[in-house]
Amino acid sequence: MGWVRVRSPPVLQSKLLCLSLLYLLTALPLALYVSFSDPGHRCLLLPFPSRASPAAAKPLFEYPPGYGEHKHALPVPRALCSNPAVFSDYKTVLEEINGLCRNLSASPSTSPVLRYQKGSKDSFAGNFSAEERRSFFSHTDNEVEIPCGFFKEFPVREVGRLAMEKCSGVVVASAILNDHDKIRQPKGLGSETLSTVCFFMFIDNATHRVLSNHGILTEDEHVGLGTVGAWRVVTLRAGELPYENPAMDGVVAKHLLHRLFPNAKFSVWVDAKMQLTVDPLLLVHSLVVEKGVDMAVSKHPFNLHTMEEAIATARWRKWGDVDAIRVQMETYCENGLQPWSPIKLPYPSDVPDTAIIIRRHGLASDLFSCLLFNELEAFNPRDQLAFAYVRDQMSPKVSMNMFEVEVLEHIAVEYRHNLKRDGGGGGKQGITRMASSRDITGSSCEKYLLKMWGEHIE
């Protein structure tokens, strides 16, 4: 009786080939996902299939080739995040946000009543000592008698002011002063977002001239209100800006949106260097409404303590007057500023990245913004330096979602500012002087620094 030997095909006899096929079948789905998915959404958990369909197939605005709105994008070093933002279905979010805005409109306002004194000094907050400003921080009633920083007129023409007052739901705002940035259109907008969300961009005459020269913005100079894609562009009256420093003028729009848009219920501030890649309704719902907080802001990617941010501000000349920064920090240390520690939880950090701020307008967030503005007017527009001091001192406390920096990097794209020969920063310019032990010994921040460094304190 003969034996029949059955041999496998030669193609299956190669272990290397089999391993290669297994690797190909495993890696192919991942490669297809990376190739065809939106890189701005890989950290975001969106419903599948997503019903947040684009409002239009074509771009919101066609820029001339010479404008360069997408030049100098900064790379994102983190491809993944451990705590992604989870977004609900777009239609569900739209209905819920609209319902919240209607209910808030029908209920009595929870915003603080800010009583103004006639004849107040123009630079109000800057004329108060730290002790006097600190006395404004504790309020338990809805009627809050505090000087809410800004007593000057923000130079918006009547047409723009009326348009701003009509915004009664969600407002997305930004500002470009001294042609410091480009106007960039938001991406990923849902089908009904442009008809329900107000997009406002504040610019000055220097920015207006550049936009006009490129043919991007054409308007009657006496109206001061134009449109560029999704943005309604408000040109501030020439020669009437309240501060000499453009950065301080931008702070008015950044932190006092509840006063510029008195009927808005939610706001999203976007630094002009950022381009939104996620619908603002999804951001408001996921980062504020679902979390049950007053506001949401990203943690700083590197710095945990206020003093670390102050040192970086001086080192990188984000604000050139180092002596003024030292005085500011010593004032805060003298009046109770402490380095971050677990005792400050649920606040996970003392330093935010304020490129994007999402707020529910109400007593706590409005009061926080007013108090923060007071500090910025008193010292300098670097809001990260005063952030923890105001947050920790005020009462009632503001509830805050300080989300991971990876989320910020995936809900927006960051670009470099327009290149300027005169550099950035404010105040005195010159060679930055390095700190020494002589600067620390005897300083009101000595205990702060020793505690921050984990050294023994007697």
For the stretch 351-392, pLDDT in tens is 999 999 999 999 899 989 999 999 999 999 999 999 999 999
- pLDDT, residue 54, reads 46
pLDDT score for 77: 67
Spans of all domains in the chain: 85-304+340-427
Residue closest to 300 by CA, chosen among 339, 340, 349: 349
Q: At what angle do helices 383-393 and 306-315 cross, to 10 degrees?
A: 160
Question: Would you place residue 395 in the very low, low, confident or very high pLDDT band (cuts 50, 70, 90)?
Answer: confident
| pLDDT exceeds cutoff 70 at 47 | no
Q: Could you report the per-residue pLDDT of 133-189, keeping only the tens digit for each?
A: 555 555 444 444 455 656 678 899 999 999 999 999 999 999 999 999 999 999 999
With pLDDT > 70 as the criterion, what percentage of the chain qualifies? 71
Reported as a single tens digit per residue, the pLDDT across 64-105 is: 988 888 888 888 766 566 667 789 999 999 999 999 988 875
The larger pLDDT score, comparing residue 380 to residue 34, is at 380
Q: What is the pLDDT of residue 5?
A: 57
Count of residues for the chain?
A: 458
What digits encode the pLDDT tens for the residues 302-350?
Answer: 999 999 999 999 888 888 888 899 999 999 999 999 999 999 999 999 9
User: CA 141 to CA 24: how far, in whole Å?
Assistant: 65
Residue 201 has pLDDT above 80, yes or no: yes
Q: At residue 24, what are phi and psi to the nearest 5 degrees?
A: -65, -45
Q: What is the pLDDT of residue 56?
A: 44
To which H or E segment does residue 171 belong?
A: strand 170-176
Per mean pLDDT, which range of 12-26, 101-115, 189-203 is the poorest?
101-115
269-294 burial by CB neighbour count: b if 16+ within 10 A, else e? bbbbbbbbbbbbbbbbbbbbbbeebb
The amino acid at 179: D
Is residue 104 classed as helix, strand or coil in its secondary structure? helix
| pLDDT for res 137 | 55
Instruction: Specify the higher pLDDT residue, 456 or 211.
Output: 211
Residues 6+ apart with CB under 8 A from 267: 170, 171, 172, 173, 257, 258, 261, 357, 358, 359, 361
